[in-house]
Amino acid sequence: MSKIKNIAQGSYVTVIKPRDMSPAKLRVAAYCRVSSDSADQINSYIAQVDHYTRYISSHEGWDLADIYADEGLTGMEVNHREEFKRMIADCRDGKIDRILVKSISRFARNQEDYILHIRELLRLGVTIYFEKENIDTGKITSEQTADIYGAFAQMETTSHSQNMRVSYRIQMEKGIFVPAKAPYGYRLVDRALHIVPEEAEIVRYIFREFLNGRGKLDIARELNERGVERGSDRGISKADGPGAWYVDTINYILANVTYTGDQVWHKTYKTDVLPYRKERNKGQKPKYFAEDCCPAIISKKDFEKAQQLMARKREIYPKAPSMESMFSKRIFCAECGAPCRRKNVGAQIYWVCWRHDHGKEACPAKERPEMRIRDALCRFYWKIRNGRETILRPVLTQLRELQERELRADPRLGEIDAEIAKLTDQNLVLTRLKSKGYLDSDLYLSQMDELNARARELRKLRRSILEKTGEDEQIRRTEEMLEYLESSNGQMDGLDPLIFTVLIDRLRLTADGNVRIRLRNGLEVTETLNAEAR
């Protein structure tokens, strides 16, 4: 407004300017994600940012809100995509009207996340356009269509996993495969196994003592007495303690051909359907034997002698029939904490506290029939499957809210988020300068590399802080539990062993005849066994 003096009357006239009646520009954002681990990953990331900056700027009625880009992530879980979460937060704050995404698989990699966020964004008035599928969520008339495409995204994830497996198989066939972990005695450096001298000496000691006639139990006992740590995080069987030696760990070393300089690849494999689980390869898949592919710690002659000696001992002392079941190493005593063992009494199978079995005065817990335990778990399964929306879904919501509160209360995260936002702004400025020809390509790529390297460091730091809150792992496990229960379709016959992979962590038998079921996300429920103990 401005004032003009009325000369005739000596007064002032206020001029009210007309309002701008042109339609407001649509605030458009883009979400990019580069999930490849290739060397060209950063260039691909830069190319996507540059593409969307140019594309949005070319529309007269659009205004660039922001470009959100996550790098180097698998995309299977939303929890680890900081930029995606920042974009959703900006939508909730009313900063975005429309989002552009290359494809549905870039936006979400499982149907649940896809539908959850599509529904929320539509409620907020934010539409999404998926270029590859040519889908505009603002024009979808049937939610079933969204379900179908969400399922396609999950199928693409499975396809990507299959592609990775093919890649590993090709590397094995060419003899250039490198395992993800190094066995005891080695360190993995620059994609190659290097000998750790002090650990290699322990390996040689184990072979030497075994070939001289000592038993595995005696060797393990002496190593424990000497205080030798076994390094359970690098291939050694994880027994009851993180640093102790057991017969199984000695056996692992004696049977590992890697110590001769040769390797056997593909000894385990992952199943083909979600949720993936690891299985031992007993001939279901091809194996690969690579000769002289790493430095040797022992001679092939000594290794062969050890195999022959173990074979002779197995003939002389045949192993008792296996008592393994889906409950093995899963059942514990609620009274004293000791593991329970499986035992046959006539035609009946029982589980009993190890201490009680060695002396009833050591623990009051009595033997429980395995069939009663199975029945209790079946009842639990149907209860939690049918009541998952009233049991697990509220827990998931509460965990997410608790995590958000903890994150907001952590000053470090606020500082990290502020610096990431600043780097993103600088990124956008560089991209705009490049698109207008003010920066040459070399300078542009150099400065972008610096910004992106710093952003990756900050995101890594943010993830480490996030994981330390404790809720992150609970959220992930609860999401896996819900996915498993929803995919089962109520067609489970008997007791599915997979429940110990996805749903249940362990069982604890009480003296009063109940079983406490600890879930994978930390919750605990109790079921009655309805049976008399022996």
Looking at residue 234, what is its pLDDT? Answer: 46
Looking at residue 201, what is its pLDDT? Answer: 92
Provide the CATH number for the domain formed by 26-170 in this structure. 3.40.50.1390
* Closest residue by Cα to residue 370 from 355, 348, 353: 348
Looking at residue 515, what is its pLDDT? Answer: 92
Looking at residue 283, what is its pLDDT? Answer: 63
**Spatial distance between the Cα atoms of 404 and 417, rounded to a whole number of angstroms:** 13
Q: How confident is the model at residue 122 (pLDDT cuts 50, 70, 90)?
A: confident
The two domains 26-170 and 177-316 share their CATH topology (first three levels equal) = no
What are the DSSP calls for 20-75, one per residue? --SPPPEEEEEEEEE---STTHHHHHHHHHHHHHHHHHT-TTEEEEEEEEEES---
* Closest residue by Cα to residue 61 from 98, 109, 90, 35: 98
Q: Quick one: which H or E segment has residue 514?
A: strand 514-519
Residues 6+ apart with CB under 8 A from 101: 30, 31, 107, 128, 129, 130, 131
348 vs 34, residue with greater confidence: 348
Looking at residue 529, what is its pLDDT? Answer: 85
Q: Is 340:331 a contact under the CB 8 Å cutoff?
A: yes
Interval 139-148 mean pLDDT? 52
106 vs 419, residue with greater confidence: 419
Q: How confident is the model at residue 231 (pLDDT cuts 50, 70, 90)?
A: low
What are the DSSP calls for 145-212, one per residue? HHHHHHHHHHHHHHHHHHHHHHHHHHHHHHT----SSPPTTEEEETTEEEE-HHHHHHHHHHHHHHHT
5 vs 232, residue with greater confidence: 5
164 vs 481, residue with greater confidence: 481
Looking at residue 401, what is its pLDDT? Answer: 79
- pTM metric for this prediction: 0.39
Q: How confident is the model at residue 76 (pLDDT cuts 50, 70, 90)?
A: very low
Interval 104-113 mean pLDDT? 70
Looking at residue 405, what is its pLDDT? Answer: 74
Beta strands 288-290; 278-280: pairing state: unpaired
In angstroms, the first-to-last Cα distance of the chain is: 94
Whether the predicted pLDDT of 335 surpasses 80: yes
Looking at residue 466, what is its pLDDT? Answer: 65
CATH of 177-316, one of 2.60.40.10, 1.10.10.10, 3.40.190.10, 3.90.1750.20: 3.90.1750.20
Interval 370-392 mean pLDDT? 88
Looking at residue 167, what is its pLDDT? Answer: 67
Interval 253-264 mean pLDDT? 85
Whether the predicted pLDDT of 533 surpasses 80: no
Percentage, residues of the chain above pLDDT 70? 71
Interval 26-38 mean pLDDT? 74
Tell me which of 120-129, 221-230, 441-450 is least confident.
441-450
Q: How confident is the model at residue 142 (pLDDT cuts 50, 70, 90)?
A: very low
422 vs 351, residue with greater confidence: 351
Tokens found for residue 57: 């700027």
pLDDT tens for residues 288-327?
A: 777 787 888 999 999 999 999 888 887 776 654 444 577 8
Q: Is 235:200 a contact under the CB 8 Å cutoff?
A: no
Which residue ranges make up each domain of the chain?
A: 26-170, 177-316, 331-389+484-528, 390-483
Interval 70-81 mean pLDDT? 55
Q: What is the mean pLDDT of the chain?
A: 75
Looking at residue 37, what is its pLDDT? Answer: 47
pLDDT tens for residues 180-229?
A: 678 888 888 877 888 888 999 999 999 999 999 888 888 888 888 888 87
Q: Quick one: which H or E segment has residue 13?
A: strand 11-15
* Closest residue by Cα to residue 268 from 257, 277, 280, 256: 280
Interval 129-137 mean pLDDT? 82
**Spatial distance between the Cα atoms of 447 and 73, rounded to a whole number of angstroms:** 22
Would you state the torsion angle of the CA atoms of residues 118, 120, 122, 123, taken in this order, to the nearest 10 degrees?
A: 160
**Spatial distance between the Cα atoms of 243 and 255, rounded to a whole number of angstroms:** 20
Q: How confident is the model at residue 476 (pLDDT cuts 50, 70, 90)?
A: confident
